[in-house]
């Protein structure tokens, strides 16, 4: 092989390595900060409590087959037996799943019209509308959730406004209810639903919709165009709503202590 050929092979290899490094970095981040902590939590769930530091046994020993076998034999499922054998834990888990599912549906119902309106707004207004969604969330999450106490409490802003308008004679008891939890979750995670939907809606060609609406000369063609548009819109937004829903559901199942304690 000539010198030029060897240089070409090295250049191609360097290009492939550089291309592989780009996706490798986020995967490495996920392994270090997600997969490794997840494995540690799973190991702790299979351990027994102990009055020691760390407060569980067995501890992993990597040197020698006997130590590894002893570690594996020391793991058990007692924690899971307690979890599924106690109605309190089962009801708590079922309640978390139900609240997460309902919250995700509410977020979709609220977030999709907002994202669609932002995507169809004039181009010069879109950055401002995105900022309106994002900027309030630069403040502390806990402060924003606790601010809802002043809005939802019996003598709060909401009840005062309803009384001033003559809509309600008695204050609504919203604070410390499940409704307040839904309000707090929807408010807290709305950007995570709106922004993914907006990102894809903003890229869709509005001329497709205009063509479907203007095909009045042939009802069959118009219906087919509208159906195609609706199918495309439903498919694309179902995909992005899935990503937004993952964020909400996973975060809720991890535990929303701040939201729950703030408004319930």
What the chain holds in terms of domains, given with CATH numbers, is 97-264 (1.10.3720.10)
CA angle 87, 88, 94 (to 5 degrees): 85
Q: For 95-133, write each residue's pLDDT tens digit.
A: 888 888 898 899 989 998 999 899 889 989 999 999 999
Nearest by Cα to 116 from 215, 4, 206: 206
In the chain, the DSSP E strands lie at: 48-49, 56-57
pTM for the structure as a whole = 0.68
Is the pLDDT assigned to residue 217 strictly greater than 50?
A: no
- Distances, alpha carbon 52 to alpha carbons 48, 190, 196, in Å: 11, 43, 46
Q: For 51-79, write each residue's pLDDT tens digit.
A: 777 788 887 766 777 777 777 888 888 88
Element (DSSP H or E) covering residue 189: helix 178-201
């Amino acid at each position: 092989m000539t010198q030029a050929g060897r240089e070409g092979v090295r250049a191609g290899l360097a290009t492939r390595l550089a291309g592989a490094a780009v996706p490798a970095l986020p995967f490495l981040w996920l392994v270090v900060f997600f997969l490794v902590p997840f494995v540690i939590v799973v190991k702790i769930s299979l351990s027994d409590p102990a009055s020691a530091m760390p407060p569980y046994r067995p501890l992993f020993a990597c040197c020698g087959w006997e130590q590894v076998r002893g570690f594996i034999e020391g793991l058990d499922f007692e924690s899971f037996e307690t979890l599924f054998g106690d109605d309190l834990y089962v009801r708590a888990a079922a309640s978390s799943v139900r609240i997460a599912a309902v919250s995700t549906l509410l977020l979709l119902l609220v977030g999709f019209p907002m994202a669609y309106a932002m995507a169809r707004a004039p181009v010069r207004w879109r950055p401002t509308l995105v900022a309106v969604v994002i900027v309030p969330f630069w403040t502390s999450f806990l402060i924003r959730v606790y601010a809802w106490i002043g809005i939802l409490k019996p003598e709060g802003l909401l009840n005062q406004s309803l009384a001033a308008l003559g809509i309600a004679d008695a204050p609504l008891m919203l604070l410390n209810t499940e409704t307040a939890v839904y309000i707090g979750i929807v408010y807290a995670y709305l950007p995570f639903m709106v922004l993914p939907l907006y990102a894809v809606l903003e890229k869709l060609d509005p001329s497709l919709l205009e063509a479907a609406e203007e095909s009045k000369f042939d009802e069959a063609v118009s219906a087919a165009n509208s159906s195609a548009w609706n199918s495309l819109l439903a498919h694309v937004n179902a995909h992005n709503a899935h990503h937004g829903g993952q964020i909400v559901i996973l975060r809720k199942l991890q535990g929303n202590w701040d939201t729950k304690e703030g408004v319930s």
